[in-house]
Amino acid sequence: MQTTDYNWEEFKNLSMPEKVVCFSRGDSTPFHTLFSQQFNRTNLDHLCSLATQIRTIAKTRNGMNFLRGLLPHKRAMLYFTQPSSRTFLSFLSACQIIGLNVGEVRDTAISSEYKGETREDSIRTFSSYFDIIIMRSRQKGLAEHMAWTLSNSERPIPIINAGSGQDQHPTQALLDIYTLKRSFERRGGLRDKTVMFVGDLARGRTVRSLSDLLLNYNNIRLVFIAPEPMQISEDVCNSLSSHGVDWIASSDMHKYLPEVDAIYMTRIQDEWDVVKGESAKIDTSRFKIGLDEMRICKPDAILMHPLPRRDEIAKEVDHDPRAMYWRQMRNGMWIRAALIASTFDCAERVNEFYRENI
């Protein structure tokens, strides 16, 4: 099955496993990175070790020169029409590290979309000047639509989804997996670990994407903690159950805190409120982490957050060695560099340099 076998209406209605097959390159990193479901243990392990090789090589001037020579003939378009600090900057830095030149559109009010150009035409325009498009949008499914459009055009360049609506944020999930893997390196990896998600689980795309990636690890247990209206959606629960994953949804964070290995905090996503101010009416006071909560956590638990945070993690917690969010953010730059390098089939060259020089 290929994207060219379908018109958009047909393609849009395929099931997720069918879409994954259309976009797959076997166990290699996919050409377009659109959904978490495109990743398996083989390409996840490959990306994480490539990220570690790149970050190690980047420590020396000689290494940096090698990395910058990887893709100087490629240009990346950062098309971010939804607010972003970390994802935008880490992709920008990742591109710079491996030598790509970068262009950007962040505000459609100053691009031709303002004159009424469709997103499809805009993307085709970018594809004439660039070799990869990294995009974030408020619109669910836009990245996949654009990937389908380009796959059916004369210049089928890769698309990376840097966040689409409330639905998917696959590269955040990659950096989260990389962070979990590094943190549990000496504790047998991710298998047998319990991960707790806290906050606005109904509208947070990072939680959805990471839950999907965690299906790739043995005997993982997930605990979803949220006030009732913000609890994790049924489709995620069904997918976990059908994969035999043990999960619990509860509003009692303190009950489960002492038994979890990782806590993944999220902010309230009130930009999605249907009625202005509706989130503010929900009592979220029991879904915050301060020093008292850290006291009851395991001594080797880790505390994660995709950021930005509001008040769900108290500032004083930043000094706790279990606070992982700043390192998590930096891991994003390395895994994104690995993803782009791998999309352009540079992994073998990195491997070789690593073996010979490190």
Q: Which of 76, 306, 317, 323 binds ligand NCD (CB under 6 A)?
A: 306
Query: Is residue 305 near ligand NCD by the rule CB under 6 A?
Result: no
Chain positions 50 to 89 lying near ligand NCD, rule: CB under 6 A, are: 86-87
Tokens found for residue 26:
């076997």
Angle at 30 between CA 6 and CA 233, to 5 degrees: 80
Query: Is residue 163 near ligand NCD by the rule CB under 6 A?
Result: yes
Rg of the chain taking only CA atoms, in angstroms: 20
129 burial type by CB count under 10 A (0-12 exposed, 13-18 middle, 19+ buried): exposed
Active-site position among 87, 149, 206, 266: 87
Q: Which of 46, 181, 205, 336 binds ligand NCD (CB under 6 A)?
A: 205
One character per residue 243-282, x = contact with ligand NCD (rule: CB under 6 A): -----------------------xx---------------
Beta pairing, strands 262-265 & 302-304: parallel
Of the candidates 144, 127, 133, 135, the residue with the CA atom closest to the CA atom of residue 162: 135
What SS3 state is found at 212? Answer: helix
Tokens found for residue 154:
């004369």
**Does residue 115 have an active-site annotation?**
yes
Least distance in Å: CB of 206 to ligand NCD? 5
CA 255 to chain centre: 29
**CA distances to 37, 212, 284, 297 from 293, in Å:** 33, 27, 15, 7
Residue count of the chain: 358
Query: Is residue 328 near ligand NCD by the rule CB under 6 A?
Result: no
Q: Which is nearer to ligand NCD, 30 or 306 (CB)?
A: 306
**Residues in binding contact with ligand NCD, number by CB under 6 A:** 11
One character per residue 105-144, x = contact with ligand NCD (rule: CB under 6 A): ----------------------------------------
Q: Which residues are catalytic?
A: 86-87, 115, 136, 169
Binding site for ligand NCD (CB under 6 A): 86-87, 163, 169, 172, 205-206, 266-267, 306-307
